[in-house]
A = this chain, B = another copy of it.
Amino acid sequence: MNAEILSVGTELLLGSTTNTDARDVARALAELGINVYWQSTVGDNPARLTECVYRARNRADLIVTTGGLGPTCDDLTKEILARTFGRELYLDKKAEESVRAYFTERGLPFTDNNLRQAMLPEGATALPNDCGTAPGCVFRAGNVIVAMLPGPPRECNTMLRKYLMPWLRELSPETIRSHMVRMFGIGESAMETRLRDLMDGSNPTVAPYCHEGECMVRVTAKAADEAACEELMAPVVAEIRDRMGDLIYGIDSPSLGHRVLELLEEKNLSLAAAESCTGGMLAMTLTEIPGASLHFRGGTVVYTEDAKTRLLKIDPAFIAAFGVVSAQVAARMAKRVRKKLDADLGIGITGWAGPDGDDVGLVYVALSVKGQCFVRRLQLGKTTPRGKIRTRAVGNALDMVRRYLCGLDV
């Protein structure tokens, strides 16, 4: 089965809203093994929406629309779709009740334009809206299935997951499964050079992704059931492991930060961080993850020299002797924060994040453990933007922790 996602809303064309609905629908369909080849966005304009629907019915087996189900005259998705597929709209009694109940429950005055929301195309199955008023619906028209979801993201996503996906799952005999192989320490083109030939396969497919300094490869298989999918993927994942070795930090791990917290958990160790140029980004990255406090003990943001002295008792003369951006200062920060917070591992990061200065992009990341200290010197490029320098520095810090905990060369 292949699908087209049709997003309706002038606010999308103006850029006032990000189209997260299209992403959520795409992701849900991918989970169901339904291919999405097209996504189209149009405004609240009858002619252009009609044109889109005609095109979609010629190239897709499933059309999923989002938006335009509300009570105002701009909300014309249902009218257009019904007309395009030659259906009348009727007032669905159950939908009417639930729209009326929504207003009564909240003590809001009911205006008649809200009845538009309870109109459904003949033969459609209503999809309840647990988070708002406008119900969605799904119907079959010949070889095409048409589903309509509301625009507000929470309404859309809830209806999608709770009502539309189960309805679609009934139809499809195929299962689709995928694994995401995640790496740190290699660029997109270098990764692709090493895995090029694997990307030509069709089942499983192998697709590269890059995001903020991390590289990923998604391996996806389709088969009769989950076990058959796994069987198809196993040799390909093994081959990728073989070629990429310890650059791989995890398979299906949500992020390098998650992996680091998992490893700390496994070894029952704790981490603390002293951050200069990253200014709290490492701490924030780890504390984004629920439960981080079990193994991340905290940190200091010592953005100024004075703060390094006040919070970590680093002697100003020591800083003056080596320079504030130096392996020595990074190492001392790592050791001091580790001791200060009674942690097993300490990270120290100091560098020039720019945009001004001669040494922009030079960053030292230190990892201190009892009796040992490792330092990475990063040269991230003079013209690299500040945000990217910080992200890379944080990634390298996490990578050093990961490699140390796995017994690899740091």
A binding-site residues for B, Cβ under 8 Å: 7, 10-20, 22-30, 36-43, 45, 48, 70-74, 102, 105-109, 111, 113-114, 130-131, 152, 154, 158, 187-190, 192-193, 196, 199, 207-210, 218, 273, 275, 277-284, 286-288, 290, 292-293, 296-304, 306-307, 310-311, 340-342, 354-356, 361, 379-388, 390
Contact = CB atoms under 8 A, between A and B. Distances in A.
A85 to B, nearest CB: 22
Contact of A290 (B301, B306, B354): B354
30 contacts: A11-B209, A13-B36, A15-B27, A15-B28, A15-B36, A16-B207, A19-B23, A39-B41, A71-B189, A74-B208, A105-B361, A106-B381, A108-B187, A131-B384, A131-B388, A152-B210, A279-B286, A280-B283, A280-B284, A280-B287, A281-B284, A283-B301, A283-B303, A287-B301, A293-B303, A297-B303, A298-B300, A298-B304, A298-B310, A306-B342
Nearest to A308: B298
Contacts of A40: 38-41
Contact of A340 (B43, B277, B311): B311
A199 to B, nearest CB: 8
Given A113-B193, A301-B283, A17 B23 contact: yes
A74 B189 CA distance: 11
Given A284-B281, A307-B341, A383-B105, A15 B19 contact: no
Given A15-B30, A287-B301, 7 more contacts: A13-B38, A16-B209, A17-B23, A19-B22, A114-B189, A297-B306, A298-B310
A16 B218 contact: yes
A18 B16 contact: no
A38 B43 CA distance: 8
Given A105-B382, A193-B111, A43 B48 contact: no
Given A102-B381, A284-B280, A311-B341, A113 B207 contact: no
Contacts of A287: 277-280, 301, 303
A29 B355 CA distance: 27
Contacts of A14: 26-27, 30, 36, 207, 218
Contacts of A381: 102, 105-106
Contact of A385 (B72, B130, B293, B386): B130
A11 B26 CA distance: 10
A38 B27 contact: no
> Which of A19, A42, A218, A379 has the largest count of B CB atoms less than 10 A from its CB?
A19
Contacts of A273: 301
A42 B37 contact: yes
A314 to B, nearest CB: 13
A41 B188 CA distance: 23
Contact of A37 (B23, B45, B300): B45
Contacts of A131: 384-385, 388
A3 to B, nearest CB: 10
- Among A187, A355, A386, the most chain B Cβ lie within 10 Å of the Cβ of A187
Given A279-B292, A280-B282, A208 B16 contact: yes
Contacts of A36: 13-15
A177 to B, nearest CB: 14
A152 to B, nearest CB: 8
A372 to B, nearest CB: 23
Contacts of A105: 361, 379, 381-383
